[in-house]
């Protein structure tokens, strides 16, 4: 039986048009991350698009950091990185991803790659957080998360040369 992945998109900004192409790309990033991690449960994820001011407010409210950031992850399940999900759950709501399209565009320009590549990277990064990975506790965890991100993006054809 094929895995069912529900993705709920919400647009809370007006600076950038949220196209079907962008939603399809982020759907692929989510699907590729779940496949890479061997996550087979039916699941759901929400993805909200915002601007720098919107993400600054959320960052201040939830992390106590009063500045904009590129992406925020709000996991609803407390996984350890690489931990298998509970098998008795028919569908798991993994959590919420909030992406500042304004910051995504600025970072794409800063790093010299496409807006699409940066959006996919940020989505993969956030999905790994939803699955229990982190990069702030140790250098080893940071390296592990970077490796996973790189391999997933390469599989998507979005690796950086």
Structurally, how many domains does the chain consist of?
1
Does residue 119 lie in a domain region?
Answer: yes
Confidence of residue 85 (pLDDT cuts 50, 70, 90): low
For residue 87, give the CATH number of its domain.
Answer: 3.40.390.30
- pTM (two decimals): 0.92
- How do residues 142-159 score in pLDDT, each as one tens digit? 899 999 999 999 999 998
Residue 161 lies in a domain: no
In percent, the amount of the chain with pLDDT more than 90 equals 78
pLDDT tier at 137, thresholds 50, 70, 90: confident
Q: Is residue 28 assigned to a domain? A: yes
DSSP E strands in 20-123: the ranges are 43-50, 71-75, 92-100
Q: What is the pLDDT of residues 19-58, one digit of tens each?
A: 999 999 999 999 999 999 999 889 999 999 999 999 999 9
Closest to 133 in 3D by CA, of 146, 120, 123: 146
86 or 132: which leads in pLDDT: 132
The H or E element that residue 53 is part of is helix 52-63
Q: Would you say residue 160 lies in a domain? A: no
Asked if the structure places residue 72 within a domain, the reply is yes
Listed in sequence order, the residues at least 6 apart from 111 whose beta carbon sits closer than 8 Å to its beta carbon are 118
Query: Residue 104 sits in which domain range?
Result: 5-155
Over residues 124-153, mean pLDDT: 91
């Amino acid at each position: 039986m094929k895995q069912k992945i529900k993705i709920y998109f919400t647009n809370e900004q007006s600076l950038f048009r949220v196209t079907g192409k962008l939603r399809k790309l982020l759907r692929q990033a989510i699907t590729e991350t779940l496949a890479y991690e061997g996550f087979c449960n039916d699941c759901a994820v929400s993805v909200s698009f915002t601007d720098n001011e919107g993400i600054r407010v959320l960052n201040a409210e939830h992390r106590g950091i009063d500045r904009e950031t590129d992406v925020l992850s709000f996991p609803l399940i407390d996984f350890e990185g690489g931990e298998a999900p509970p098998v008795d759950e028919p569908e798991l709501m993994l959590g919420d991803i909030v992406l500042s399209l304004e910051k995504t565009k600025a970072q794409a320009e800063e790093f010299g790659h496409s807006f699409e590549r940066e959006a996919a990277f940020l989505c993969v990064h956030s999905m790994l957080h939803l699955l229990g990975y982190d990069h702030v506790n140790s250098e080893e965890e940071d390296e592990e998360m970077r490796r996973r991100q790189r391999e997933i993006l390469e599989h998507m054809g979005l690796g950086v040369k």
